[in-house]
Amino acid sequence: MAESTDREPNRGLEDMDAGIRVHARTWIIVGAINFAYLGQIMVNIGSGFFAQSLGQLFEGSDRTVWFSTSINILTTALCPPVSQAADYWGRKWFLVGSSACGLAGSIIISRAQSMDTAICGFIVIGICSGTQSLSFAVVSEVLPRRYRPFAQTSLNLTSGLAAIIVICMGGSLVQVDKDNYRTFFYLVAAIFGAATVALIICYNPPPRELQTSLSTSEKLRRLDWVGYLLLTPGLVLFCIALAWSQNPYPWNGTHILAPFIFGVILLAAFCIYEWHFKKDGMVHHDLFKSRNFPIALITIFDEGLVFFAINTYYAFEVSVFRNTGLLDSGLHFMIMFLTTSVSAIIIAQISKRYKLVRWPLFGGFLSLLLFFAIMATVTPRSNPNGFWAYGIISGVGLGFLLPLIVVAGQLSTTAELISIGTGLIMSIRALGATVGLAINNAIFNSALSKNIPTNIAKATLPLGLPPTSLSALIPALLAHDQDALMKIPGITPDILSAAGAGLVDAYHIAFRNVWIAAACFVVPGIIAAWFTFDPKKEFNDYIDAPAELVLAVEQAGADAEMVDVRVEKSIDGAVHHEVISNA
């Protein structure tokens, strides 16, 4: 938590000299942060990309939703408290510790022999994702504010690189043998290990004021403990209820209602507490002085919700409709991420030059609405080559949204609140992803459970398949088990072909329902983006947290007599510089 301040974010900053230039040390820090983020995104994408392969390998396809859900729950629950604590103890060791958790989780997944072990590995990696907001905060606060579109775009490019690695390497591996997924997670473990070492060596920022001015007991007292006790279990229970809905429990069952009701009660209590009783907690009231921050929360929730619909079902639909392997469908997915990277670079330049965030956000959501509308009309008999173009449409929208939503939110806060503000933004995004995954999973599974038996029966029984063979035919089709299919009594090539067509039609209905729901979810984002304003005065050369001593001195505009530079050597041997203005 940062102390409340009366200083407006842009007061006295719009006229700053544009001559301030960061040096190699700052860019090395940005690179190290991006390297750690690479591992996080590879796992996030891999949690959906490898879900089918791991589900078939460990015979637990109905539980694969927990790969992504585990990560999203912990990201949602941990981002705000970690961001608050980082204001008191600094960013470094939270980032180092999270990368170490990523290393451990990747090793667990790579050595898993059961679905339970694999889920445990993703839970450990979820702890790593709990510091994701610090990556978004650090790359912004060490660079001049007018470069924030490029700072956030650097993370977007890292996401694109992660997608290419997952799709090209991961797809090639599991296409040969599903058990080869382990090689991919060995690579992820190596990336996390290298990132941990890089952060320890390269990231040694000057201590923040609250790090040195407060004792440990004072820091502990300032943490929002009541908020933690209400938010964390509330989110976990709420998300578990959503994840279990229709997978495997019905909505009116106690397995859903009990955690859902208690989760909602705890979250309502959290909102009341933060609103009336804790003005400087995880939801610091000074964050809401500008309307852009609450709008950023709405739009990032919407972006997280619809992104994970694309992440989970786009490549899946390509593989079903085109009857191709994971690598081919992944290449379609890669086109989307390549487009995302290119569009993010272009929009970052436009945003920096013209100091814009409103129109790019509005256009990004419109692009996603067009994508979902097109996908809802696609059928198994549509031109399969169209999928190459559809990914470009969604890529443009995603490239516009995530970087500039974060920029809009960060530029509406003061330097003291950038960490906790970014933490809240990323937590809301993860919450949107969790809600979206649960809703889409329920829609998808409900449509499949209703239509698969009906469609296959209608397609095969008139051709002479004995009704008693349906119970063996359906699971064998879903598992792509050719040996089991050939042993079914009464099976013929014509019946098998008709059954396959019926299965694809059932998937078509399920995919269509998901895309229609996603299109509806985009509408609030479009409306919210319309009310965003362009914070033109905030696109200046002010650096919220210079990573270099010389920049801190230069920015303060102080000479040797006005600045007291204190050099301290910490227990770990790293040299730290603290700049104290005497002006």
| Contact assessment for residue 351 and residue 345, using Cβ atoms and an 8 Å cutoff | no
In the chain, pLDDT over 90 holds for what percent of residues?
A: 32
- pLDDT score for 152: 93
Give one DSSP letter per residue of 18-58, joined into a string.
TT----HHHHHHHHHHHHHHHHHHHHHHHHHHTHHHHHHHT
Beta partners for 196? none
- Core vs surface per residue 286-323: b (16+ CB within 10 A) or e: bbeebebbebbbbbbbbbbbbbbbbbbbbbbbbbbbee
573: Cβ–Cβ under 8 A, 6 or more apart, which residues? none
Which is more confidently placed, 539 or 171? 539
Contact 409, 425 (CB under 8 A): yes
CA distances from 280 to 52, 230, 285, 511 (A): 44, 16, 6, 44
> What average pLDDT does the chain have?
84
Residues 427 and 563 grouped into a single domain: no
Q: What is the structure's pLDDT at 61?
A: 73
Count each helix (H run) and each strand (E run) in the chain, helices first: 22, 2
Predicted local confidence at residue 582, as pLDDT: 42
Residue 534 sits in the same domain as residue 564? no
Same domain, yes or no: 127 and 161: yes
Residues 508 and 569 in one domain: no
Question: Is 418 domain-assigned?
Answer: yes
42: domain CATH number is 1.20.1250.20
What are the tens digits of pLDDT across the range 152-183?
999 989 988 998 888 888 878 887 788 888 99
Residue with tokens 């190699």: 24
pLDDT of 493 reads: 86
Task: Name residue 16's amino acid.
Answer: M
Rounded to whole angstroms, how far apart are CA atoms 496 and 501?
9
Q: Say which amino acid occupies 375.
A: M
Residue 370, token pair as written in the block: 């067009």
- What is the domain range of residue 565? 549-581
Alpha helices in 531-568 (DSSP H): 549-556
Give the count of alpha carbons within 13 A of 453, CB side only.
10
**The pLDDT value given to residue 577:** 46
User: Same structural domain for residues 144 and 199?
Assistant: yes
Q: Are residues 76 and 32 in the same domain?
A: yes
Confidence class for position 470, pLDDT limits 50, 70, 90: confident
Asked whether residue 208 falls in the same domain as residue 326, the answer is yes
Examine residue 268 and state whether it is found in any structural domain, yes or no.
no
Assess whether pLDDT exceeds 50 at residue 239: yes
- Whether the per-residue pLDDT at 14 is higher than 90: the answer is no
Tokens standing for residue 162: 């992660």
CB 299 within 8 A of CB 361: yes
58 located within any domain: yes
pLDDT of 464 over the 70 cut? yes
Say which amino acid occupies 461: L
pLDDT at 247: 66
pLDDT attached to residue 394: 93
Three-class SS of residue 203? Answer: coil
Residues 106 and 149 in one domain: yes
Lowest mean pLDDT among 185-194, 289-298, 483-492, 518-527: 483-492
Q: Out of 144-153, 240-249, 369-378, which region has the weakest mean confidence (pLDDT)?
A: 240-249
Least confident of 96-105, 248-257, 412-421: 248-257
Question: Is 60 exceeded by the pLDDT of residue 10?
Answer: no
Average pLDDT on 464-480 reads: 82
Residue 492 lies in a domain: no
Is the confidence at residue 328, as pLDDT, over 70? Answer: yes
Residue 13 is predicted with a pLDDT of 45
Please report whether residue 3 resides in a domain: no
Number of domains in the chain: 2
For residues 559 and 442, membership in a common domain is answered with no
Asked if the structure places residue 252 within a domain, the reply is no
Is 534 found in the same domain as 554?
no
Model confidence at 545, pLDDT cuts 50, 70, 90, reads confident
pTM of the full structure: 0.82
In a domain, residue 235? The reply is no
Same domain, 445 and 567: no
Q: Give bridge partners of residue 245 from the DSSP assignment.
A: 249
Residue 575 β-bridge partners: 569
Instruction: Say if CB 39 and CB 194 are below 8 A apart.
Output: no
111 vs 576, more confident: 111
- Report which listed range, 19-23, 82-86, 342-346, 572-576, is most confident: 342-346
Euclidean distance between CA atoms 578 and 357, whole angstroms: 34
- Between CA 306 and CA 315, with CA 312 as vertex, the angle to 5 degrees is 115
Assign 19 a pLDDT band (cuts: 50, 70, 90).
low
Which pLDDT band holds residue 475 (cuts at 50, 70, 90)? Answer: confident
Tokens of 44: 């996030």
The answer as to whether 178 is a domain residue is yes
Distance CA 75, CA 424 (A): 10
Contact between residue 360 and residue 350 where contact means Cβ atoms under 8 Å apart: yes
| Rounded Cα–Cα distance for residues 543 and 89 (Å) | 20
- Tens digit of each residue's pLDDT (9 = 90 or more) over 188-229: 999 999 989 988 888 888 787 888 888 888 888 888 899 889
**Co-location of 554 and 410 in the same domain:** no
d(CA 542, CA 301): 29
Instruction: Give the separation between CA 53 and CA 502, rounded to whole angstroms.
Output: 23
Task: Answer whether residue 62 shows pLDDT above 80.
Answer: no
Instruction: Please check whether residue 299 is in contact with residue 526, taking contact to mean a CB–CB distance below 8 angstroms.
Output: no
Burial of 506 (0-12, 13-18, 19+ CB in 10 A): buried
- Of the two residues 363 and 222, the one the predictor is more confident about is 363
Tell me if 284 sits within 8 A of 2, measured CB to CB: yes
